[in-house]
Amino acid sequence: MPRALHLAARPAGTPKDSDFETRERAAAPLEDGQFRVAVKFLSIDPAMRVWMSEAKSYWPPVPLGDVMRAQGIGEITESKNPKFPVGQWVSAMTGVQDEYVGDGKGAHVFDAKRLPHPGWALSVFGATGMTAYFGLTDIGQAKAGEVLVVSAAAGAVGSSAVQIGKALGMKTVVGIAGGPDKCKFITDTLGADAAIDYKNDDVGKALKEHCPDGIDVYFDNVGGDILDEVLKRLRLKARIVLCGGISQYNAEGATRGPANYLSMISSRARMEGFVIIDYMHRAEEAIAAMAPWAAAGKLKGKLDVVDGLDNFPAALRRVYSGANFGKQLVKLT
């Protein structure tokens, strides 16, 4: 019988196992236009914590009792929709469940054999890679010769942002992450010019050392203290790409805003938020740019896979503690 994880409670702080409830249901027969998917991998996204809360966001909160929202990929096992034939891999908002029935809305078929791993459809060539691509090019207006700083740089979005920055010919690309292993990965594997370990280094001092003339583009995944340090070192006409603020997602009180924002006046800087769903109609444009970089070894992906639907809450907690190393996925069997 298909199993699903339902939202049982709105979390206080970091999500707990008891915020979810596993339920089984009988598989319903398909209607015309529908197809059934055996879900193979689920994407873990830091924004899930926001979707679980009552906070106003780009999507409504997941209603209590509903299947937890998630993007997933899997193989079509039964179909009454000719555009979604049996055997095809598909990406959709499947929810946290091992079986998904769709009608094609918001679903995309893809050729898993052409990818290094099917999980690339949820990472490098999926939402996180596209977030990095459009965040840097469209919001950040990143140009060759400029200085780029990326936070959460060993993660899914951040690792793509670092590599895309280098592929675009940016002069200096600095990644910020927690711990020496992630920092080594950022320089040695992703090709950044420098990495800053925010858990052990003085971020302000290190930014001054690696970006002596200031920062043109800051790709912000975390907010908090790191954003404040970057704000002290903006170049004229700098752009801050407001992608995420993971340091604030589990805050139980008010979200902390940037203290040093007045520096944006003198540096004539711009800070702009964006949500990748607004760019999905341009997905082919991003793939056309990124596929040659991947083929040339300039765009690599790292996956971090946790097994089993029941481990979804634990997998979700990994992205807030920094235990994940690469794009966090849950594999369903």
Ligand X SMILES: NC(=O)c1ccc[n+]([C@@H]2O[C@H](COP(=O)([O-])OP(=O)(O)OC[C@H]3O[C@@H](n4cnc5c(N)ncnc54)[C@H](OP(=O)(O)O)[C@@H]3O)[C@@H](O)[C@H]2O)c1
Ranges within 131-150 binding ligand X (CB under 6 A): 131
Considering only residues 128, 238, 239, 271, which one is a binding residue for ligand X as defined by CB under 6 A? 128
Binding of ligand X at residue 313 (CB under 6 A)? Answer: no
Q: Say how far apart CA 43 and CA 127 lie, in whole Å.
A: 10
Residue 322 lies near ligand X (rule: CB under 6 A) = yes
User: DSSP H helical segments within 54-114, as ranges?
Assistant: none
Segment near ligand X (CB under 6 A); pick from 16-24, 71-79, 139-147, 271-279: 271-279
Among 115, 122, 174, 222, binds ligand X (CB under 6 A): 222
In the complex, the smallest distance separating the C-beta of residue 50 from ligand X, rounded to whole angstroms, is 8
Question: Measured from the CB of residue 85, what is the shortest distance to ligand X in angstroms?
Answer: 30
Q: Which token pair is 256?
A: 């902390």
> Is 126 an interacting residue with respect to ligand X (CB under 6 A)?
no
CB of 294 to ligand X, least distance (A): 17
CA gap 141, 259 in Å, rounded: 25
| Contacting residue, 121, 136, 234, 243, with ligand X by CB under 6 A | 243
Structure tokens given for 46? 């830091």
Q: Which residues contact 329 (CB under 8 A, 6 or more apart)?
A: 41, 42, 43, 44, 119, 122, 123, 303, 304, 305, 306, 315
The DSSP result for 246-300, as a single string, is GGGTT-SSPPPPPTTTTHHHHTT-EEEE--GGGGGGGHHHHHHHHHHHHHTTSS-
Cα separation values, 147 from 132, 203, 289, 326, 330, Å: 16, 16, 21, 24, 35
* Per-position x/- string for 156-175, each x denoting binding to ligand X as judged by CB under 6 A, each - no binding: xxx-----------------
Give which of 306, 307, 308 is closest to 324, Cα–Cα.
306
Looking at residue 128, its amino acid is T
263: its two tokens: 């520096």
Among 74, 247, 269, 313, binds ligand X (CB under 6 A): 247
Closest CA to 42 of 134, 103, 126: 126
Segment near ligand X (CB under 6 A), from 228-236, 245-253, 282-290, 306-314? 245-253
Binding residue for ligand X, selected from 11, 15, 46, 126, defined by CB under 6 A: 46
Contact window for ligand X (CB under 6 A) among 74-82, 87-95, 239-247, 280-288:
239-247
CB-nearer residue toward ligand X: 226 or 269:
226
Q: Shortest Cβ distance from residue 24 to ligand X (Å)? A: 29
Q: Which of 2, 104, 178, 204 binds ligand X (CB under 6 A)?
A: 178
H or E element: which one contains 328?
strand 327-331
Query: Does 45 help bind ligand X (rule: CB under 6 A)?
Result: yes
Give the residue with the Cβ less far from ligand X, 79 or 221. Answer: 221
Of 96, 6, 154, the closest CA to residue 315 belongs to: 96
Query: Which stretch, 107-115, 230-238, 240-248, 261-269, contacts ligand X (CB under 6 A)?
Result: 240-248
Q: What angle do CA 79, 83, 87 make, to 5 degrees?
A: 50
Residues that bind ligand X (CB under 6 A): 45-47, 127-128, 131, 152, 154-158, 177-178, 182, 221-222, 224, 243-247, 274-276, 319-320, 322, 324, 327-328
